[in-house]
Amino acid sequence: DKSAFIFDLDGVIVDTAKYHYLAWKKLANGLGFEFTKEQNELFKGVSRKRCLEILLDIGNVDATQDQFDTWMVKKNEDYLSYIKDMDESEILPDVVQALDFLKDRQVPMAVGSASKNARPILEKVKLLSYFDAIVDGTDVTKAKPDPEVFLIASDRMGARPENCIVFEDAAAGIEAANVAGMTSIGMGNPENLPEADYNFRDFSEISEEFLKEITV
Ligand code: B16
Ligand code: MG
């Protein structure tokens, strides 16, 4: 039985969190309230629908179903306009080195993301060809912290969950990996991800020795 790696997208491979933030902030400001970077932490790894529910709670806004649907579309249109010109320069530090190292060793790799925009983003940053499977917000019925997204990914790679290693920047994603019985690696501020099996700030802190050691 062989190891397989699963990568979250936003916050692990690319720094799209700042664009999600700008789009939510624009919506909040248009509705007459502020939305801070600290509040945006709660939105990481969380589905678009759930994010809007939390945002409207923050602003104390009651929405009809029609308004809710309109604002979901509006947020995504704004987000897409922000990522329109995204390119390889927005890949996070040393991600490509880690992907190359694993690819050379023929380790199966997948993306496991809550985003419905995962494929176009991977295309823009030219990383699509690294992955044996891409599981995203269009494939799942249950959002992180439910393990569904990672279990579909392990299944598509033909790997057993206990042999999968998940890189995640969101608490909900670490919980999903742990519930799936996978090894969880928290990326970013360790204080935000106390439940992770391992913590690193970014891939520049992860050595080839470490990748070798956790690979069976
Ligand atoms: P979309 P990940 C998540 O992606 C983001 O962290 C989260 O902030 C976003 O709301 C969610 O995707 C849905 O994204 O609106 O593009 O479908 O971190 O799981 O890769
Ligand atoms: Mg993420």
Distance from the CA of 162 to the center of ligand 1, in angstroms?
Answer: 25
pTM of the complete model: 0.94
Would you place residue 100 in the very low, low, confident or very high pLDDT band (cuts 50, 70, 90)?
very high
- Ligand 1, from 6, 20, 49, 119: best to mutate by most atoms within 8 Å of Cβ? 20
Give residue 41's pLDDT band: very low, low, confident or very high (50, 70, 90): confident
Helix 17-30 × helix 48-58 angle, to 10°: 40
Measured at the CA of 82, the angle between CA 175 and CA 10, to 5 degrees, comes to 20
Residue 132 designated active-site: no
* Band of pLDDT at residue 194, cut at 50, 70 and 90: very high
The average pLDDT across 133-156 equals: 96
CA of 209 from ligand 1 middle (Å) equals: 31
Mean pLDDT of all residues belonging to the chain: 96
Q: How far is CA 35 from CA 25, 47, 58, 114, in A?
A: 5, 17, 8, 21
SS3 11: coil
pLDDT of residue 84: 95
Q: Which residue has the tokens 């040393």?
A: 94
Q: pLDDT digits over 54-97, tens only? A: 999 999 999 999 999 999 999 999 999 999 999 999 999 999 99
Sign, Cα dihedral of 115, 119, 122, 127: positive
Per-residue pLDDT of 123-142, as tens digits, reads 999 999 999 999 999 999 99
CA nearest 9: which of 161, 130, 178? 130
